[in-house]
A and B are shown apart, each in its own frame.
Chain A
Amino acid sequence: MTHSPDERDPRVAAAIGRYWKKNVTIMAILLFVWAAVGLGAGVLFADSLNAYYIGGYPLGFWFAQQGSIITFVILILIYALTLNRLDKEHHRDLARLNEEDAT
């Protein structure tokens, strides 16, 4: 059995809408960092960043061959942690709505 969206309880639809909006916001922030570090620091600004050093690494070179990869791993970690928590919150919200209906 399936519900089409308009047959749904409007409160449930609102909860789903909130969930999706938060998801898209988190995604946009993380993708901004992804682009700023990978394509920004690693490519577009690599030549100017090379004037600075981190240990024996010129900074632009470091971003291109080390820093961006480390950032990417951390970004996915943050995404998995926050989204999986958001999922749980969402399910709690829905469970509360169900309880309200029952009482």
Chain B
Amino acid sequence: MSVQAWTFLFVGATFSLYLVIAWLSRVSDTKGFYVAGQGIPAAANGMATAADWMSAASFISMAGIISTLGYAGGMYLMGWTGGYVLLALLLAPYLRKFGHYTVPDFIGDRYRSNAARIVAVVCAIFVSFTYVAGQMRGVGIVFSRFLEVDVNIGVYVGVAIVFVYATLGGMKGITWTQVAQYWVLITAFLTPAIAISLQLTGTPIPQIGLGSELVGEGTALLEKLNQIHADLGFASYTEPFIGNWDKLNVFAVTLALMAGTAGLPHVIVRFYTVKNVAAARWSAFWALLFIALLYLTAPAIGAFARYAMLDGLHGKTEQELPGWFHSWEQTGLLLWMDDGDGRLSYTGGDRIDENELFRSGNLGAARIAELKTDHQKWLDGNPDGRDGRPALRQAGLVGPDRDIIVLATPEMADLARWIIALVAAGGLAAALSTASGLLLVISSSVAHDLYYRIINPAATESQRLLVGRTVIGFAVVIAGILGIYPPGFVSQVVAFAFGLAAASFFPAIVLGIFSKRVGTYPAMFGMIAGIGFTGTYILGSVYGGWSSWAFGIGPQGIGAVGMALNFIVTLGLTPFFPAPDKSVQELILSIREPEGAGPGLDIDHSAEAD
């Protein structure tokens, strides 16, 4: 069977599975629709959270980023996992005890203000839409790479599938589908990693393989990688703080990603779906354990693939190059512009001028073909010809596309065809599971926080459910349109969503739980100052050409400063404003107390009543 036939088989089988699960878990009330009836077991919720969390970017791009950055790739690994510690310790159990459906619910009730609620709704919708557009695009890209169909057809198929299971089952359908999607994506990620670890280091555990010696070399893999890097002019793979990534910036980005993770609405909302506070704590543990399986493997894949690429490509002639090089060359993820000696040179750093390996990036097919033709003429000594390398260097397209690291790993390791197809199904599972979780946040923000809590508090259960389904239906379609016509800023903005969440939600929620004194206005001014400063700084750096004037911190890490500013403004203003009234004091006391027997039970019920 060909790779394509296997891919059709795997994708068809997994998609049918998702639809069957959706039908079995369809719901008929708002509690089922928004928080899955609060009856999801902790371990299953952990898996769903993990699938929700790990997007197309985590699955396809992260190992590639680590492979390119070396040590500095660790800031993504630490940031995106360390955030779960904050989430588990500072937020999850208390928000579950609070018992309502969304993050804006908590902000609005704790700070007694519809204005604060609306600010939270707008932030939640903004963050979710920028994020979801990337997922739909990811579905399209996986389809086009593995099934050779148009990117847009892939987006249509993705929209259709998500539309069915999200409108039918709401959070319940989404959660159980995500459990299935977790297994598909983790199997797809681990299988090639184990195989390539066995091949290079002789141990089946990639995390141990990364710290082991290469088979038949007697040198540790990482040491060998550092040697090759030094020979070819690249910066050391394991040494920290080289180039742009100085200590302060790595620190700021890591911190911003950690706090941002804990402030992202689609992650927080998962902890509303479990039975009780104890289950919320367990659920956070399971979620991070399941996420860690992928995050501990990604650095291994990154280093293995880095070694395979440098060792397998540099200095090779057309005939000596491995088969996967030629098959991925067609996709434009790799582009070889020879200098005339017939041997590929893959170098960097102070030897960057010798580098002959590029990627097509956003340049159109016509432009690439033109560059290639001119380059061939130049090689042949034709006076009309032109060296293609300076043009590509100028366009910032030096080196292979980072997505190739995960996508081509099975082929680098000469694995069976079905494993390649499995990776395709895994990438789709990662993209679909994240997209559906985000769509639900959008739906609940509009239908619950705006429609029910502000516009029409008298709405009946069936009216609310209808609005919820309609909004999610519309949101899927808008997400699809954004996937087909991706606005240029999306890819840049997604990376900054964490900074914005860190600077706005995180301090407001933490202070809302741990301080009885912080009142409405300090919290609102804090949020506005945090998100205003962070947003302006990001826009100024990306579009306005600002040099990083705030302590030399770049736009990715500025959320850490914005968060500090939020805390300072909120706490600094607090003494000048009245403390929250008695009912809010009770609310705070009730979310701090564990549920169960005793007098706390009464308060518990009053907090649960909707």
Contact = CB atoms under 8 A, between A and B. Distances in A.
Contacts of B285: 73, 76-77, 79-80
Nearest to B587: A2
A73 B288 contact: yes
Contacts of A43: 75, 78, 240, 247, 250-251, 254
Residue among A1, A9, A54, A76 with most chain B CB within 10 A: A76
A24 B258 CA distance: 20
B150 interface: no
B240 A68 contact: no
Contact of A91 (B77, B295, B596): B596
Nearest to A54: B211
Question: SS class of chain B's interface: helix, strand, loop or mixed?
Answer: helix
B251 A75 contact: no
Interface in B552-610: 582, 585-586, 589, 592-594, 596-600, 602-603, 606
A57 B211 contact: yes
Contacts of A61: 71, 74, 222, 238, 240
A38 B254 contact: yes
Given A4-B586, A43-B247, A56-B221, A64 B78 contact: yes
Nearest to B602: A1
Contacts of B239: 47, 50, 58
A97 B596 CA distance: 15
B251 A20 contact: no
A27 B212 CA distance: 36
B207 A5 contact: no
Residue among A3, A62, A72, A97 with most chain B CB within 10 A: A72
Contacts of B592: 16, 20, 23
A14 interface: no
A84 to B, nearest CB: 5
A50 B238 contact: yes
B281 A94 contact: no
Interface stretch (B83-91, B156-164, B422-430): B83-91
Given A58-B222, A80-B281, A90-B594, A68 B81 contact: yes
B146 interface: no
Contact of B599 (A8, A30, A47): A8
A65 B220 CA distance: 17
A10 to B, nearest CB: 12
Interface of A: 1-5, 8-9, 12, 16, 19-20, 23, 27, 30-31, 34, 38-39, 42-44, 46-47, 50, 54-58, 60-62, 64-66, 68-70, 72-73, 75-77, 79-80, 83-84, 86-87, 90-91, 94-95, 97-98
